[in-house]
C-alpha cells in the first residue's frame, strides 16, 4: 500500500509539471508613460518653427506610435512612430495671443496608452491691443497699434472714440451673440478720419495686414482673397434721426437694429433729431465681414440706423461682406464716394425712408441686388437720392452675378440719377417701372447694351423715360477719387 501511494504521488507531481510546461508563460508589458515639460518659456505671437520635447517611456519589447493635437497652435508633425525616450513636436503659434497647449498621446502595440499636455503661453504682440469691453470714456486708437475686437464693442452714449489715420482694427471670429463688431450707440461719437495715403482698415484677425503695410502704401490683404467673407461682424452707427417704422400698434420712432440681439439696448436707433451728429467717417475700408448671427441674418459691412445729417461719411470701401455692403435704416445722413465690391448680398440697401443722398459710387458684382431700395414701413414717408454711379453688374471670373439691375418696391421713393451699368447679362432687368404708391424717377440711367435690345432689360419691356442704351457712357462715377482703395490697387477700376 505504501508503494502504491508513493507511485501515485510521483505521477501527480510529474503530470502537473508537464501540464504547466505545455502553456505559454504569462508576461505583463509595461504601460507607456508620457511626461510633458513644465515651465515652458512664452513664445512670441506669430512665432513659427517652435519645438517642445515630451519624455516617453515604453516597454523595450513593444513598438509604439504617437498622436499630437494642439489648441491655439498649429502642429506640423501630428503623428509618427516613437523612437527612443523623447518625442519632439514641431509647431507654430496660433491665431490668438494667450493660452495654448499640445497634448501627446502614445499607444503601444498592445493597445496601452498614456498622454500628457504641455501648456504654452503666446505673448501678445507689442503693437496689438485687445479690446474686450465697451468704450465708456473718451478714447483714441493710434496708428502704431493693431486693435483686436474681442466681441461686440460699443461706443456708449456721450462717449467719443477717435481713430487715427492708418489704424488697423481686426475682429475676432464669432457668430451669433458672439459676433464681433464695432457699434456706435445713439449719442456716441466715432471720429474716424483716415486719409487717402493712410486709410483706416476694419478687417479680420485672419488678415495679416499690419501698420508697416499701410506705411508702404499696400492697402490690400497680403494673405486673404478679396472674396472671402463672414470672418467677423462689421461697423454699425446708430443715431437719433427719424425713421419710418411700425409694429402691430402703429408707428414707432425707435427700433432695434438688425444684427444686434434685442437684449442689448445699445442696438436701438431712431428719434426726432434729423441733424443728429454721430461723428466723422472718412477713408475707411471694411472687409471680410458679415458674420452670421442667426438663420439668414448677417451683419452688413456698414450699417447706418437713424443716422443724422450732422454726421459726415465720405470715402468708404466695403469688400467681401457676407451680407449687404451699406444699408440705411431711415435717417438723414449723406454719403459721398462709396465703393462696394464682392459683397454676397445687396451692394446698396435702403429701408425705412432714408432721406439722404448717396453721391459718387462704384458697385462691383454683388451676390444679389445692385440696389434694393425699399419704401417706408410706417406712415412717415421720405425719399432719397442716388446719383453719379458706375455699376459693374457681374464678374464671370469669380462666378458672381447680381440678380437684377435695379430693384424697387411698389412704395419706394427714390431719385436715381446719372448711373452707368455695364457687364450686363441676359435676364438682368430693372424690376419695376410703375409705382402705384411710391415715386421712382430715372434720370440719366445708361445701360451698356445694344439699343435694339434695351427693352429686354426692363420689366415687361416698358422702358421708362430716363433709361437709355449706350456704348460710350456720358454719366457715371468719378473713379479718380478711389485710387486709395484695395479695389483700385487690385486693378478692378481699370477702364472705368
Is a pLDDT exceeding 90 seen at residue 472? yes
Is a pLDDT exceeding 50 seen at residue 88? yes
Tens of pLDDT, residues 364-402: 999 999 999 999 999 999 999 999 999 999 999 888 899
pTM recorded for the entire structure: 0.81
Instruction: Say if residues 385 and 358 touch (Cβ distance below 8 Å).
Output: yes
Instruction: Tell me what pLDDT residue 20 has.
Output: 46
Q: How far apart are CA 325 and CA 235, in angstroms?
A: 11
Best CA proximity match to 59, nearest among 115, 104, 117, 109: 109
Instruction: Say if residues 371 and 407 touch (Cβ distance below 8 Å).
Output: yes
Span 327-352, mean pLDDT?
98
In angstroms, what CA-CA distances link 66 with 51, 108, 221? 16, 9, 38
In angstroms, what CA-CA distances link 289 with 6, 172, 182, 183, 201? 95, 10, 11, 14, 12
Tens of pLDDT, residues 476-493: 999 999 999 999 999 999
For 76, the grid coordinates are 506640423
Tens of pLDDT, residues 207-260: 999 999 999 999 999 999 999 999 999 999 999 999 999 999 999 999 999 878
Is a pLDDT exceeding 50 seen at residue 13? no
| Band of pLDDT at residue 296, cut at 50, 70 and 90 | low
Is a pLDDT exceeding 90 seen at residue 330? yes
Span 324-335, mean pLDDT?
98
Tens of pLDDT, residues 29-57: 999 999 999 989 999 888 999 999 999 99
Mean model confidence pLDDT for the chain: 92
Span 2-15, mean pLDDT?
44
Q: How far apart are CA 339 and CA 342, in angstroms?
A: 10
In angstroms, what CA-CA distances link 90 with 41, 51, 102, 126, 395? 15, 5, 10, 25, 42
Best CA proximity match to 337, nearest among 377, 287, 382, 284: 284
Counting Cα atoms < 13 Å in the Cβ hemisphere of 90 gives 6
Phi, psi of 435 (to 5 degrees): -125, 105
User: Which residue carries 508563460 as its cell?
Assistant: 25
In angstroms, what CA-CA distances link 164 with 130, 199, 234, 339? 17, 9, 19, 21
Instruction: Tell me what pLDDT residue 436 has.
Output: 87
Span 454-464, mean pLDDT?
95
What are the residues facing 55 on neighbouring strands?
A: 35, 86
Span 151-165, mean pLDDT?
97
Phi, psi of 446 (to 5 degrees): -115, 125
Q: Is 211 helix (H, G, I), strand (E, B) or coil?
A: helix
Tens of pLDDT, residues 400-455: 899 999 999 999 999 999 999 999 999 999 999 888 899 999 999 999 999 999 99
Helices and strands: H and E segment counts in the chain: 3, 39
Instruction: Say if residues 318 and 341 touch (Cβ distance below 8 Å).
Output: yes
Q: How far apart are CA 485 and CA 427, in angstroms?
A: 31
For the chain, the maximum distance between any two Cα atoms, rounded to a whole number of angstroms, is 134
Amino acid at each position: 500500500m505504501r508503494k502504491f501511494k508513493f507511485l501515485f504521488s510521483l505521477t501527480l507531481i510529474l503530470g502537473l509539471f508537464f501540464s504547466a510546461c505545455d502553456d505559454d508563460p504569462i508576461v505583463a508589458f509595461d504601460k507607456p508613460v508620457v511626461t510633458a515639460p513644465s515651465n515652458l518659456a512664452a513664445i512670441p505671437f506669430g512665432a513659427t518653427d517652435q519645438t517642445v520635447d515630451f519624455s516617453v517611456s515604453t516597454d523595450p519589447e513593444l513598438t509604439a506610435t504617437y498622436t499630437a493635437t494642439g489648441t491655439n497652435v498649429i502642429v506640423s508633425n501630428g503623428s509618427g512612430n516613437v523612437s527612443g525616450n523623447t518625442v519632439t513636436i514641431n509647431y507654430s503659434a496660433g491665431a490668438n495671443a494667450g493660452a495654448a497647449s499640445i497634448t501627446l498621446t502614445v499607444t503601444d502595440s498592445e493597445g496601452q496608452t498614456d498622454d500628457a499636455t504641455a501648456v504654452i503661453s503666446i505673448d501678445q504682440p507689442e503693437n496689438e491691443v485687445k479690446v474686450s469691453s465697451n468704450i465708456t470714456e473718451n478714447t483714441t486708437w493710434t496708428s502704431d497699434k493693431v486693435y483686436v475686437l474681442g466681441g461686440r464693442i460699443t461706443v456708449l452714449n456721450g462717449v467719443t472714440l477717435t481713430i487715427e489715420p492708418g489704424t488697423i482694427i481686426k475682429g475676432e471670429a464669432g457668430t451669433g451673440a458672439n459676433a464681433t463688431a464695432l457699434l456706435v450707440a445713439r449719442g456716441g461719437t466715432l471720429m474716424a478720419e483716415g486719409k487717402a495715403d493712410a486709410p483706416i482698415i476694419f478687417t479680420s484677425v485672419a488678415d495679416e495686414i499690419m501698420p508697416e503695410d499701410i506705411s508702404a502704401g499696400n492697402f490690400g490683404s497680403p494673405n486673404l482673397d478679396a472674396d472671402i467673407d463672414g470672418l467677423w461682424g462689421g461697423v454699425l452707427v446708430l443715431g437719433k434721426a427719424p425713421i419710418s417704422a411700425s409694429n402691430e400698434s402703429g408707428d414707432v420712432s425707435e427700433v432695434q437694429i438688425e444684427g444686434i440681439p434685442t437684449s442689448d439696448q445699445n442696438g436701438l436707433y431712431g428719434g426726432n433729431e434729423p441733424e443728429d451728429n454721430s461723428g466723422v467717417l472718412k477713408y475707411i475700408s471694411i472687409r471680410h465681414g458679415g458674420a452670421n448671427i442667426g438663420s439668414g441674418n448677417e451683419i452688413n459691412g456698414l450699417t447706418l440706423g437713424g443716422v443724422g445729417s450732422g454726421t459726415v461719411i465720405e470715402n468708404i470701401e466695403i469688400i467681401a461682406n457676407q451680407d449687404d455692403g451699406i444699408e440705411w435704416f431711415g435717417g438723414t445722413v449723406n454719403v459721398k464716394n462709396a465703393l462696394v465690391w464682392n459683397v454676397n448680398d445687396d451692394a446698396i440697401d435702403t429701408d425705412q425712408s432714408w432721406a439722404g443722398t448717396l453721391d459718387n459710387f462704384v458697385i462691383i458684382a454683388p451676390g444679389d441686388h445692385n440696389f434694393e431700395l425699399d419704401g417706408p414701413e410706417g406712415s412717415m414717408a421720405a425719399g432719397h437720392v442716388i446719383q453719379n454711379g458706375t455699376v459693374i453688374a457681374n464678374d464671370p471670373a469669380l462666378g458672381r452675378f447680381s440678380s437684377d439691375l435695379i430693384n424697387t418696391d411698389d412704395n419706394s421713393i427714390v431719385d436715381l440719377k446719372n448711373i452707368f451699368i455695364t457687364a450686363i447679362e441676359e435676364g438682368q432687368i430693372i424690376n419695376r417701372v410703375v409705382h402705384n404708391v411710391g415715386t421712382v424717377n430715372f434720370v440719366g440711367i445708361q445701360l451698356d447694351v445694344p439699343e435694339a435690345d434695351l427693352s429686354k432689360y426692363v420689366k415687361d419691356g416698358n422702358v421708362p423715360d430716363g433709361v437709355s442704351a449706350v456704348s460710350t457712357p456720358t454719366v457715371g462715377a468719378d473713379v479718380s477719387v478711389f485710387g486709395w482703395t484695395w479695389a483700385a490697387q487690385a486693378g478692378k477700376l481699370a477702364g472705368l
